[in-house]
């Protein structure tokens, strides 16, 4: 019989209180003080973070905070388990005392899958957006649209999959992996697709993350994940919030219909233009407009640079669109929390 009691991990002992909080814990400590965690706890209520047989379950908020650390530092499940053992700042952030047992990598994986299946991540992202707005950080002067390709860690198929062809569903981290984080046997991904990047040789195989970013704060307001071969413009409407004064994007997002619709909604369409077969060279006026828009929307590239270079989102670790979307959404939540600390420092 499995004991379903909940671990009491949030209370620190007298020794915990005396231990120094130096090193990398400063940013995490500031984040703890900014976020109203009890609101996230309400959304997580009912999720059971079951441990191994014979051990009590972990509080959902502890598990969610652990997954935030994973996204902030680009860790695998096994690396996150080891870090929770070794790093005091991680324990303090997650709410694990020195005496508390650490969730193992299989428990972390099961809880992440539970979040995905329950569809809670979208609600958690929305709750964070409300808290950021209440803090006065979302200014709505403009929304910058952009997308980036993230390759999958799954094996590439020998050729493009035909429509309707079936591949068994199984995520990379659902497969057995070594304790040191070594990759398990790689299978292809049923939902990932090939795409070619303009100006680059070869192809990429994976997914594409689309974002709508607040122009002044750099906070992500909308995020959507698709297979890599989906054109940027397809997701544009899902990234426009409707309360911004302008939308800034490169030429991939420009259509006359979109510009007309934005104008009708009272939103300035700052969409770059590109030559076509009828006008192979843009007139000077549009060239100047493109230069101005490019300068203002350049900041959106910082979002992806932070994801990939500082937060370790160099590849999609899991197989299937739903799990890829969950990984990107967790990264967006962690990024906004990281940005919140920066904006209020």
Distance CA 261, CA 249 (A): 15
Query: What pLDDT, on a 0 to 100 scale, did the predictor assign at position 160?
Result: 54
Positive or negative, the CA dihedral 60, 62, 63, 68 is positive
Mean pLDDT score across all residues of the chain: 86
Quick: pLDDT tens for 154-194.
998 875 544 444 444 444 444 433 333 334 457 889 999 99
Quick: pLDDT tens for 14-36.
334 334 443 446 899 999 999 99
Query: What pLDDT, on a 0 to 100 scale, did the predictor assign at position 279?
Result: 72
* Residue 54: band (very low, low, confident or very high) from pLDDT cuts 50, 70, 90: low
Distances (CA, A) of 99 to 96, 195, 329: 8, 49, 32
DSSP code of 172?
A: G
Does residue 313 have a pLDDT over 50?
yes
* Residue 277: band (very low, low, confident or very high) from pLDDT cuts 50, 70, 90: confident
pTM across the whole model: 0.86
Does residue 195 have a pLDDT over 70?
yes
**Which of helix, strand or coil describes residue 205?**
strand
Does residue 146 have a pLDDT over 90?
yes
Query: What pLDDT, on a 0 to 100 scale, did the predictor assign at position 51?
Result: 64
**Which of helix, strand or coil describes residue 94?**
helix
């Amino acid at each position: 019989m499995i004991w379903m009691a909940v671990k009491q991990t949030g209370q620190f002992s007298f020794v915990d209180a005396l231990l120094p909080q130096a090193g990398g814990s400063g940013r995490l400590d500031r984040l703890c003080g900014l976020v109203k965690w009890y609101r996230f706890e309400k959304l997580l209520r009912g999720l059971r973070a079951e441990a191994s047989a014979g051990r009590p379950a972990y509080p959902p908020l502890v598990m969610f905070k652990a997954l935030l650390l994973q996204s902030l530092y680009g860790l695998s499940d096994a690396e996150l388990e080891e870090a929770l053992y070794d790093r005091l700042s991680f324990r303090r952030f997650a709410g694990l005392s020195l005496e508390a047992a650490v969730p193992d990598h299989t428990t972390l994986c099961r809880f992440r899958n539970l979040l995905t299946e329950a569809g809670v991540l979208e609600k958690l992202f929305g709750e964070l957006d409300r808290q950021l707005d209440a803090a006065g950080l979302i200014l709505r002067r403009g929304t910058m649209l952009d997308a980036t390709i993230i390759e999958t860690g799954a094996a590439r198929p020998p050729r493009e999959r035909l429509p309707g062809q079936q591949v068994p569903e199984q995520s990379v981290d659902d497969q057995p992996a070594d304790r040191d984080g070594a990759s398990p046997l790689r299978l292809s991904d049923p939902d990932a697709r090939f795409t070619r990047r303009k100006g680059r040789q070869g192809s990429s195989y994976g997914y594409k993350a689309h974002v709508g970013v607040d122009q002044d704060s750099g906070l992500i307001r909308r995020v959507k994940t698709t297979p890599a071969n989906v054109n940027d413009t397809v997701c544009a409407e899902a990234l426009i919030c409707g309360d911004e004064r302008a939308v800034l994007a490169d030429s991939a997002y420009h259509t006359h219909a979109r510009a007309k619709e934005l104008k009708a909604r009272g939103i300035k369409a700052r969409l770059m233009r590109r030559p076509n077969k009828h006008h192979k060279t843009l007139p000077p006026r549009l060239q100047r407009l493109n230069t101005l828009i490019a300068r203002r929307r350049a900041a959106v590239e910082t979002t992806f640079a932070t994801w990939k270079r500082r937060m370790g989102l160099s590849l999609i670790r899991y197989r299937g669109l739903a799990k890829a979307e969950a990984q990107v959404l967790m990264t967006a939540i962690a990024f906004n929390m990281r940005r919140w600390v920066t904006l209020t420092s």
